[in-house]
Amino acid sequence: MLVYIAGSGAMGCRFGYQISKTSHDVILLDNWEDHINAITENGLKISGDVEDLVDLPIMKPTQATQEADVIILFTKAMQLPQMLKDIKGIIGAETKVLCLLNGLGHEDVIRNYIPERNILMGVTVWTAGLEGPGHANLKGVGALNLQSMDPNNKESGLQVTDMLNEAQLNATYDENVVPNIWRKACVNGTMNSTCALLDCTIGELFASEDGLKMVKEIIHEFITVGQAEGVELDEEDITNYVMETSVKAAHHYPSMHQDLVQNNRLTEIDFINGAVNKKGEKLGIDTPYCRMITQLVHAKESVLNIK
């Protein structure tokens, strides 16, 4: 198979690197000039659990021409529509597109560019970091779940699952992936925006009595909206999962903290808490915590003059 990684940041590099060790071909796509130059000149450097240096083709999305068998979407949420426009030339009638972005509502965007039968939705708990252009740091073990959006096209999902497992990415074909996507979004929705605003680690947030109260109100809004959309979600189960995650990740600053506080970049808030508020509005469900946290993060972006 020819596999494109559309958005080759930290996670894209992990997936591209691991797939490059199989019989499949990988092409990385990205728009970051320094990253493209570093990988083109010196290869992709890997450190962390393994030390490696691999030759991998990388180019801008608009420069790719060879039709893809599989495209794995790993952009930031707000870059997704532009990416789908830019890679039009490599999307054939049978090209499968796997979405592994954080957050909610991406299927509505992807449907505008890709026929439903070729869309695979997924969620992953793999992690990765970038040390700098062309240098990924890979630590720990993860997994991912995916499902064909069109139930009649499970076969495509299974083929992609097999390909990912050749790359030791611990993929599972999941007959009901949507609740898992919501579960991860709920973890992000409770920790990312709050830690970014409070400039604190996950452990510091959860050590605060009032922090915990907020977390529980946010979870409740996610569950209420998700259930109203027909997604099977159990509040106690998700609360336990969020609490467990907070313990494991206590010393970490979530990715939105990295974006907003550390790097002064736009955040994905509209696709996490903002998405729940938007869905809530359509369903007639008020979600003031998700709405206010979205407004606070956007106000902070405005204060920092991030565009």
Question: Which positions lie near a copy of itself, rule CB under 8 A?
Answer: 194, 197-200, 204-205, 207-211, 213-214, 217, 288-289, 292-296, 298-300, 302-303
3-state secondary structure of 147: strand
Nearer to a copy of itself, 214 or 231 (CB): 214
Residue 196 near residue 254 (C-beta atoms within 8 A): yes
Nearer to a copy of itself, 145 or 188 (CB): 188
d(CA 148, CA 35): 32
Nearer to a copy of itself, 10 or 306 (CB): 306
Residue 226 near residue 280 (C-beta atoms within 8 A): no
Is residue 60 among the annotated active site residues?
A: no
Taking the complex as a whole, how short is the minimal distance between the CB of residue 189 and a copy of itself, in angstroms? 14
First-last CA distance in the chain: 38
SS (H, E, C) 228-263: HCCCCCCHHHHHHHHHHHHHHCCCCCCHHHHHHHHC
144 sits in which H/E element: strand 144-148
Taking the complex as a whole, how short is the minimal distance between the CB of residue 206 and a copy of itself, in angstroms? 10
Encoded amino acid at 198, one letter: L
Residue of 45, 76, 96, 184 marked active site: 184
Taking the complex as a whole, how short is the minimal distance between the CB of residue 67 and a copy of itself, in angstroms? 42
Taking the complex as a whole, how short is the minimal distance between the CB of residue 266 and a copy of itself, in angstroms? 13
Nearer to a copy of itself, 247 or 292 (CB): 292
Q: Which residues are identified as catalytic?
A: 184
